[in-house]
Structure 1
Amino acid sequence: MKKSPEKRAAEAAHLRQRELAKGDPVALPLTMASMYHLPGDPTGVRQYGRFDNPTREAVEKLLGHLEDAEALAFPSGMGAISAVFFSLLKAGDRILLPSDGYYTTRVLAERFLNKLGVTHDLRPTASFGEGGFGGYRLVFIETPSNPGLDICDIAAVASEAHAAGAVVLADNTTMTPLGQRPLDLGADVVVAADTKAPNGHSDALFGHVASHDAEIMKAVAEWRKLSGAIPGPFEAWLVHRGLETLEVRFDRMCSTAELLAPRLAAHPAVKALRYPGLDGDPSHNLARAQMERFGFMIGLTLKSEAAAERFINGCALLQPATSFGGIHSSAERRARWGDAVEPGFVRLSVGCEPAEDLWEALQAALEKR
């Protein structure tokens, strides 16, 4: 029987306790080691920091518990995506990517995979199932898409892609394992940037790959070992600490976003707003069916670039920054990076501030002239 995300979150705080001996530290120790004492036969013990680190293994165990699957840690979300691409793909393969997802994945395919003989096609997330999946080795979905927050039907895509012989890779960065469970819906592999909400404090780059498929994970682990794409133990320690409070932070962030979204949508300064939790959002019905929560990301379009910049820079409780998922609310105008959005589009990441205080600050910033 599958455990609920809440049940897994409750157990996560006590996962380490199961292995503690009397007198052991309750908090995870930070092991900063590149070398291990290794006389004689090295078989069966820790050998070298690129291969083994107990702090890294602890965060992988915690991530695996939340995903209910084997998990491998990487130094960033793009490191995790790259590991899947380079360990599973070969010359002659064709892959399908979202045209409206995180842009760096497309850039990686254009500048590096193409040189190695791996071709790609693009398709919008909202119509991702249209056109079929014949001829693809790998189908990559990102739902909700970043930054536009469109959604595709994970179960339907997985079923059709598997029938065509493709591996389905899902980027679950915006939702975390507590908000959406792509593996349970049929995806073969999940990747995520734990830099965001899982760490939550904007002080570490991190990512992970998770899957039930032992052969896929074996290939990804071998690629990581040989390429050296490993996270440092200090970053692993920070993310482990962040994961222990993910449930309470994620709940606060999602609840506040659900409160703010209809208020923002009704404000005369807001030209358009996307949030899967709104009844009128194009993705609402599908979001209700496949997501545990509606998330903490809101996409709002203001009337101009100047209005968007004035709102972001003039709000006392907004951090102008790229990235998202921190305890502080943050925002940025995504057109500045070349995303296919209007000049006044703002990606708003709701943090952990008291909801009514945050609303007052957002409202005041929207009404500045």
Structure 2
Amino acid sequence: MDKHAQRIAADLLHLRGQALSKGDPVALPLVSSSMFHLPGDPDGAAAYGRVDNPTWEALEHSLSVLEDAPCVAFPSGMAAISAALFATLKAGQTLLIPSDGYYVTRLLSARFLSQLGINIIERPTRAFADGGFGEIDVVFMESPSNPGLDLCDISAIAQAVRGQGGRTIVDNTTMTPFGQRPLDLEADVVVASDTKAPGGHSDVLMGHVATRDPAIREAVLEWRKVSGAIPAPHAAWLLHRGLETLEVRFERMCQTAEALAQALADHPTISAIRYPGLPGDPSHNLAKQQMSAFGFLLGLTLADKDSAERFISSCRLLRPATSFGGVHSSAERRARWGDDVADGFVRLSVGCEPTTELLDDLLMALNDL
């Protein structure tokens, strides 16, 4: 971890403490009030729970330090993605999305944005720049893509899109700001599902939008206020707590994932493995350029559906569950959701278990196939 990331990690731990007065609680209070004492004119004071909440504000302050940009919190990653898209698109404009990215983003685009007069174009992540960006108003990237773990060149694409008068949004859920910083790579907006590694304990749904563009931030805030897509105070409180341990969890997860990828790369039951940290991975060179860590997700392709399901269910230290980024390692066969992957493709999310114990468990399950 570089010195800048170390500084951010340290600042997050003491962010609240630096502003405390004598007798204040060190832990963030949970405020769940829907109403605030408001005699006379509002004058900028907290007014109503759909617009104001001190627990949100503390969380957004922490997120802004983490992203080095103003942030707006949302009740899920998809709520954050929706806000970013509705805040940047108009009827008649064109949106480019990854054909191999998170499938719900494609559903939102096909079922709702297209009906509002938005033209939707899809391209695979590895060929995302093919065809240029001349007629495209908003470009939505995933890098690494979910679940295939392909990469695209965020900086080159962001520069090209800006040169054509467009805007770029990057879904950074798979990496977090400790592994990749799209805003520093010239993206206009970052969205993320904080349900994953930032929350870290599989007990909260949250997301956020980060941008250094004041106009986009105001539009995102307006969307949240008008649409009512607001986070629950308790969820915001849980995420605030999770952020304080994100760096140490993320580092452990990435280190273990890299060790597992190296150990499993030549296993006879795995026909293909994807991990950007492997020298032979198609995305390895680009990953070294734009990522400060290789992440905690692995893609394993086994012989077929039954092999994948037996592998997942027989691992004592794997939870068969959707989502990723928790302290518990988990895995799922992504074809069950309609992703364009082989029936035997397994997305493996590495948690915080001791590396040797986890590897032994995975090898035992693979050897029994």
Does TM, normalized by the shorter one, top 0.5? yes
What is residue 332 of structure 2 aligned with on the other side? 332
The alignment partner of 1:210 has SS state of: strand
Residue 4 of structure 1 and its aligned partner are, at CA, apart by 1.6
What is residue 127 of structure 2 aligned with on the other side? 127
- Whether the 8 Å CA contact 1:271–1:303 is kept in 2: the answer is yes
Number of residue pairs the alignment of both structures matches = 368
Alignment-mate amino acid for residue 69 of structure 2: A
What is residue 345 of structure 1 aligned with on the other side? 345
- Whether the 8 Å CA contact 1:126–1:150 is kept in 2: the answer is yes
What is residue 264 of structure 1 aligned with on the other side? 264
Deviations 1:311-344 (A, max 9, x none): 0000000000000000000000000001000000
Partner Cα separation in structure 2 for residue 355 and residue 164 of structure 1: 47
Partner Cα separation in structure 2 for residue 278 and residue 28 of structure 1: 40
Residue 6 of structure 1 and its aligned partner are, at CA, apart by 2.1
What is residue 201 of structure 1 aligned with on the other side? 201
- Whether the 8 Å CA contact 1:194–1:206 is kept in 2: the answer is yes
What is residue 51 of structure 1 aligned with on the other side? 51
Residue 74 of structure 1 and its aligned partner are, at CA, apart by 0.3
What is residue 214 of structure 1 aligned with on the other side? 214
- Whether the 8 Å CA contact 1:101–1:145 is kept in 2: the answer is yes
TM-score, scaled relative to structure 1: 0.99
- Whether the 8 Å CA contact 1:6–1:178 is kept in 2: the answer is no
The alignment partner of 1:184 has SS state of: helix
* 1:286 pairs with 2:286: yes
Partner Cα separation in structure 2 for residue 321 and residue 40 of structure 1: 51
Residue 246 of structure 1 and its aligned partner are, at CA, apart by 0.1
Alignment-mate amino acid for residue 216 of structure 1: I
What is residue 242 of structure 2 aligned with on the other side? 242
Partner Cα separation in structure 2 for residue 192 and residue 53 of structure 1: 21
Partner Cα separation in structure 2 for residue 103 and residue 23 of structure 1: 48
Deviations 1:338-363 (A, max 9, x none): 10000000000000000000000001
**Bigger mean CA deviation after superposition, 37-46 or 49-58:** 37-46
The alignment partner of 2:271 has SS state of: strand
What is residue 152 of structure 2 aligned with on the other side? 152
Partner Cα separation in structure 2 for residue 200 and residue 215 of structure 1: 31
Q: What are the residue-to-residue correspondences of 1:50-129 with 2, within 5 Å? A: 50-129=50-129
TM-score, scaled relative to structure 2: 0.99
Residue 367 of structure 1 and its aligned partner are, at CA, apart by 1.4
Alignment-mate amino acid for residue 235 of structure 1: A
The alignment partner of 1:183 has SS state of: helix
**Bigger mean CA deviation after superposition, 78-87 or 143-152:** 78-87
What is residue 185 of structure 1 aligned with on the other side? 185
The alignment partner of 1:110 has SS state of: helix
Residue 252 of structure 1 and its aligned partner are, at CA, apart by 0.3
Unaligned runs of 5+ in 1: none
Residue 89 of structure 1 and its aligned partner are, at CA, apart by 1.2
Deviations 1:209-257 (A, max 9, x none): 0000000000110111111110000000000000000000000000000
Residue 44 of structure 1 and its aligned partner are, at CA, apart by 2.1
- Whether the 8 Å CA contact 1:91–1:118 is kept in 2: the answer is yes
Alignment-mate amino acid for residue 367 of structure 1: N
Partner Cα separation in structure 2 for residue 124 and residue 63 of structure 1: 30
Unaligned runs of 5+ in 2: none
Residue 128 of structure 1 and its aligned partner are, at CA, apart by 0.9
Alignment-mate amino acid for residue 226 of structure 1: V
Alignment-mate amino acid for residue 66 of structure 2: L
The alignment partner of 1:226 has SS state of: helix
What is residue 318 of structure 1 aligned with on the other side? 318
Alignment-mate amino acid for residue 350 of structure 1: V
The alignment partner of 1:152 has SS state of: coil
The alignment partner of 1:147 has SS state of: coil
What is residue 232 of structure 2 aligned with on the other side? 232
- Whether the 8 Å CA contact 1:36–1:48 is kept in 2: the answer is yes
Percent identity between the two aligned chains? 64
Partner Cα separation in structure 2 for residue 137 and residue 7 of structure 1: 36
Alignment-mate amino acid for residue 185 of structure 2: L
Partner Cα separation in structure 1 for residue 28 and residue 121 of structure 2: 44
Partner Cα separation in structure 2 for residue 3 and residue 186 of structure 1: 21
The alignment partner of 2:248 has SS state of: helix
Deviations 1:263-313 (A, max 9, x none): 111111111000000000000010001001000000000011111000000
Residue 3 of structure 1 and its aligned partner are, at CA, apart by 6.6
What is residue 361 of structure 1 aligned with on the other side? 361
Aligned-residue Cα RMSD (Å) equals 0.9
